[in-house]
C-alpha cells in the first residue's frame, strides 16, 4: 500500500482548534445515495433522518490518558492505550530511546510508573506505583489525548476534558478524543406565533426544553411560554404576561432576560441546571 496516496492538503486556517459553540452548530456532511454531497449543521440531523434509519452512539468517556514525565533528565511522554490489569497499562512512549525496562518515570502530581517491558511495536508496559486505581491517578496527572492535527497547534488544557467528550459519554475507557460526536448536545425548534414573534426552543435529546429565546414586534405571552416560571420571576419586572417593561431575574434554578421596545422585543429564559456541557447562557439567543 502506498500511504502517500492518502496525503491531502489541509490549510492551517481550516483546522478547528476548539469545538463549535453551541455544539450542534458544528458542520455535518450529508451523503445521500447518488445525490451531490451537502453541507449541513448537526442541529439539522433530526430533519434528515428517515423511518428505518439506525443511529449508533459512542458512549465511551475519554480518559485523560496523556502523561508527561521524566526519567532522570530525559523527558518522557506516555499515551496509555490498553489496560492490562489494575496497576498496569500498555502505553505508546515518546522519546522511547531514552527508556529501558526497569526505569522509573516520574509524572506530575506524585504519579510514577516502572517501565516493565518493551513490546515489538515500540510500546511499553507501565506498572504504576501506589494503591489507588490508575484512573484516579490519571485524573490528577493526565491530560486529554488530542488528535495530532490539534495537538500540533496547541497544548491540552482543562477545557478539553469537557470539550472532547461525546454527549452520550458514560463508560470510562477511550484514549482518543472523538471530535465528531462532541457536537450533538441538543436541537433547536423554531416557530413563529400569530403576532410574528420568532420563538426558539432549545431541546435536550430526551425532549426536555432547557431554554427558550424570542424576538419580535411584541413580547410573547409569558404565561403560555413559561408557565409557573413566569410567575416566580414577574416581580423582577413589569409583572404582566404581555407587558413592555424589562423583565430580568437570575437565580440558581431559573434565569430570564426580556428587554426591548414596541416593535422590537427580545429575550430568553434558561434552566441553568439543565444546560448541556459546554453550552453557555450566552449561546442561547
- Mean pLDDT computed over 66-77: 95
Which pLDDT does position 170 carry in this prediction?
52
Domain ranges of the chain: 3-52, 62-174, 187-283
C-alpha cell at 37: 454531497
What pLDDT does 233 receive? 59
Specify the pLDDT at position 168: 54
Q: What is the CATH number of domain 62-174?
A: 2.40.10.240
Give me the pLDDT at residue 245, please.
57
Share of residues in the chain with pLDDT > 70 (%): 84
Q: Give 118's pLDDT tier (boundaries 50, 70, 90).
A: very high
Q: Residue 181 — very low, low, confident or very high, per pLDDT cuts 50/70/90?
A: very low
- Distance from the Cα of residue 65 to its chain's centroid: 17
Return the percentage of the chain with pLDDT > 90, whole number: 23
Arithmetic mean of pLDDT, 10-32 = 86
Check if the beta carbon of residue 252 is closer than 8 Å to that of residue 272.
yes
Whether the pLDDT of residue 232 is over 70: the answer is no
For residue 125, pLDDT over 70 is answered with yes
Question: 111: Cβ–Cβ under 8 A, 6 or more apart, which residues?
Answer: 67, 69, 128, 129, 130, 137, 140, 141
Q: What is the pLDDT of residue 113?
A: 96
pLDDT digits (tens, 9 = 90+) for 165-178: 665 555 444 454 44
Site of grid cell 506498572? 127
Strands in 129-283 per DSSP E: 171-174, 187-192, 198-203, 209-216, 247-250, 255-261, 264-270
Amino acid at each position: 500500500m502506498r500511504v502517500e496516496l492518502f496525503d491531502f492538503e489541509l490549510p492551517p486556517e481550516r483546522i478547528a482548534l476548539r469545538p463549535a459553540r453551541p455544539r450542534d452548530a458544528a458542520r455535518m456532511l450529508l451523503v445521500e445515495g447518488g445525490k451531490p454531497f451537502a453541507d449541513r449543521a448537526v442541529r439539522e440531523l433530526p430533519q434528515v433522518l428517515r423511518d428505518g434509519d439506525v443511529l449508533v452512539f459512542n458512549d465511551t468517556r475519554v480518559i485523560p490518558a496523556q502523561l508527561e514525565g521524566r526519567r532522570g533528565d530525559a523527558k518522557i511522554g506516555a499515551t496509555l492505550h490498553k489496560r492490562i490489569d489494575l496497576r498496569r497499562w500498555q502505553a505508546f512512549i515518546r522519546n522511547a530511546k531514552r527508556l529501558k525496562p526497569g526505569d522509573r518515570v516520574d509524572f506530575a502530581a506524585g504519579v510514577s510508573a516502572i517501565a516493565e517491558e518493551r513490546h515489538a511495536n515500540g510500546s511499553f508496559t507501565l506498572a504504576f506505583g501506589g494503591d489507588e486505581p490508575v484512573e484516579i491517578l490519571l485524573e490528577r496527572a493526565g491530560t486529554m489525548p488530542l488528535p495530532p492535527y490539534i495537538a500540533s497547534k496547541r497544548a491540552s488544557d482543562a477545557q478539553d476534558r469537557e470539550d472532547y467528550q461525546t454527549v452520550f459519554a458514560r463508560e470510562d475507557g477511550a484514549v482518543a478524543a472523538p471530535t465528531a460526536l462532541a457536537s450533538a448536545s441538543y436541537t433547536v425548534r423554531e416557530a413563529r406565533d400569530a403576532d410574528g414573534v420568532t420563538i426558539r426552543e432549545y431541546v435536550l435529546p430526551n425532549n426536555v426544553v432547557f431554554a427558550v429565546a424570542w424576538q419580535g414586534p411584541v413580547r410573547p405571552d409569558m404565561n403560555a411560554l413559561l408557565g409557573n416560571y413566569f410567575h416566580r420571576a414577574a416581580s423582577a419586572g413589569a409583572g404582566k404576561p404581555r407587558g413592555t417593561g424589562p423583565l430580568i431575574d437570575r437565580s440558581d434554578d431559573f434565569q430570564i432576560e426580556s428587554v426591548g421596545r414596541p416593535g422590537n422585543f427580545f429575550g430568553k429564559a434558561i434552566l441553568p441546571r439543565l444546560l448541556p456541557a459546554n453550552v453557555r447562557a450566552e449561546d442561547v439567543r
